[in-house]
Structure 1
Amino acid sequence: MASQFHQLRILVWKNWLGVKRQPLWTLVLILWPVIIFIILAITRTKFPPTAKPTWDFSTCNICDGRMLQFFFSCVSEEIDSRYRVMVAQ
């Protein structure tokens, strides 16, 4: 247990020496996420999110969605029949 704390102390000391010896790199490591966050915040305020309406067959204005339901059922039947032919061969 004591050796683990000793290793932790040595690791923290090593990191502190890196911070002391390379102050510019330390500054870059701290400022880079801050700059990215500021860019994202500015972008978010200039282009606020907008809600997009959802769509399904019940909200369709063309024939109350019945034409589209018919079309998609025909397409799915066509795909099913092609699949059956491929399996039968």
Structure 2
Amino acid sequence: MASLFHQLQILVWKNWLGVKRQPLWTLVLILWPVIIFIILAITRTKFPPTAKPTWDSSTWNTCDGWMAQIFFFSCINEETDSRYRVMIAQ
């Protein structure tokens, strides 16, 4: 247990020496997250979040969205069959 504590003490001392020897880099490491946070906060106040409607299973159409792109042929019905056949044949 003493060995673990001693290794931790040496590691903290080594970190402190790095802080003392490179103060500019230490300042950058501290300020960089603060600057990013300020940019995000300003962006959030300029463009507040808007509520989007949730998905309702009663309005689902099997020929809308990604399903129509992946399973295109299963979405062709009687009304649009001739129009899409021309597009596919070309």
Tell me if TM exceeds 0.5. Answer: yes
Match of residue 9 from structure 2: 9
Counterparts of residues 1-89 of structure 1 (less than 5 Å): 1-56=1-56, 58=58, 68=61, 79=74
Partners of 1:15 and 1:48 lie apart in 2 by 40
Same amino acid, percent of matched pairs: 81
Give structure 1 stretches of 5+ with no counterpart: 80-89
Distance in 1 between residues matched to 2:17 and 2:38, nearest whole Å: 30
Count of paired positions: 68
**Cα drift, residue 57 of structure 1:** 5.8
Q: Distance in 2 between matches of 1:5 and 1:55?
A: 55
Equivalent position SS for 2:27: helix
Match of 2:51, SS state, is coil
Q: Distance in 2 between matches of 1:29 and 1:55?
A: 43
Q: CA RMSD in A?
A: 2.4
Higher helix share: 1
What amino acid does structure 2 have at the position aligned with 1:47?
Answer: F
The separation in 2 between residues aligned to 1:57 and 1:36, in whole angstroms, is 39
Structure 2 CA distance for partners of 1:53 and 1:3, relative to 1, 3 Å: same
TM-score, normalized by length of structure 2? Answer: 0.63
With normalisation by structure 1, the TM-score equals 0.64
Which consecutive segments of 4 or more residues in structure 1 shift more than 6 A? none
- Take 2:55 and 2:2, find their aligned partners in 1: how far apart are those partners? 63
